[in-house]
Amino acid sequence: MKSSDGIAIVGIALALALFTVLPDNVAAVNEFSQAHGFLMSFLKFAILGTAGEMVALRITTKKYIQPGFGVLPRALMWGVIGLLIHTAFTVYASGTPVFLKQAGFSVAPDDLVNGSFLVRLGVAFSISTLMNILFAPLFMLAHGVVSMHIEKTGGTLRGLFSPLPVSHLLDEIDWNMLWGFVFRKTIPFFWIPAHTVTFMLPPELRVLFAAALGVVLGVILAFASLKSVPATT
């Protein structure tokens, strides 16, 4: 392991501690986090999501940074993703119990917090399933398009805000990877179970845990891309 790998591990650990240990021990930080949920979501995803992509780059190219990668554009992209995730968590966590009740299940609005373990598990699984079926595919597709746009415009902030040629980028997407691996495998076998755990956590930890999962998924996707490259002799 290179020294840069050690620095990356320490950096990610410190980022996680910054969003967990500090708010729990500093009242002012805790109050700020609770009062500015969208801003904190932006920061959590901007830091941890970008870190996940850098780890994935390290696995595939042996480098954490390379020309055109675009750390700042990607951090901004992940920050916006954090806002969308915060919104989705709020909508699906609130709306799914209502849907379950209308579907004939005996579910109370506060069962996710005050119900028995099995009830909480069932509600959390339902929230995760609906969110990952109805929201995640389009969200993942949009992330892929923007990520490709960043690469093609040289990883610059100016390039990020240039016109987005959506139709051309959609033509260049590896649909076999997106459908065959990301949709068919990571959603049912990774994201639904992982987000079930997420919604079992206290509300203040859910977005942070989701952001940390971005690092894990970056590693998974990196190994998948390596596996898809034909072996050379």
Q: Is residue 20 part of a domain?
A: no
pLDDT at 24 over 90: no
Structural domain boundaries, residue 94: 37-228
Q: Is residue 17 part of a domain?
A: no
pLDDT at 91 over 50: yes
Q: Is residue 2 part of a domain?
A: no
Check residues 189 and 52 and name the one with the higher pLDDT: 189
Where helices occur in the chain by DSSP H, the ranges are: 3-25, 27-35, 37-61, 71-102, 111-114, 117-134, 136-152, 157-160, 166-172, 175-177, 192-200, 203-228
- Residue 77: both structure tokens together: 């992209």
The DSSP 8-state label assigned to residue 164 in this structure reads -
Q: Is residue 138 part of a domain?
A: yes
Q: Is residue 5 part of a domain?
A: no
Question: From the centroid of its chain, how far is CA 110?
Answer: 26
Tell me the pTM: 0.83
Which residues does 22 contact at the CB level (< 8 Å), separation at least 6? Answer: 29
Q: Is 87 left (phi over 0), alpha (psi -120 to 50) or beta?
A: alpha
> Which pLDDT tens digit goes with each residue over 136-161?
999 889 988 999 999 999 999 999 99
Q: Is residue 13 part of a domain?
A: no
Q: Is residue 52 part of a domain?
A: yes
The number of distinct structural domains making up the chain is 1
d(CA 67, CA 89): 35
- Residue 123: both structure tokens together: 């509600």
Q: Is residue 12 part of a domain?
A: no
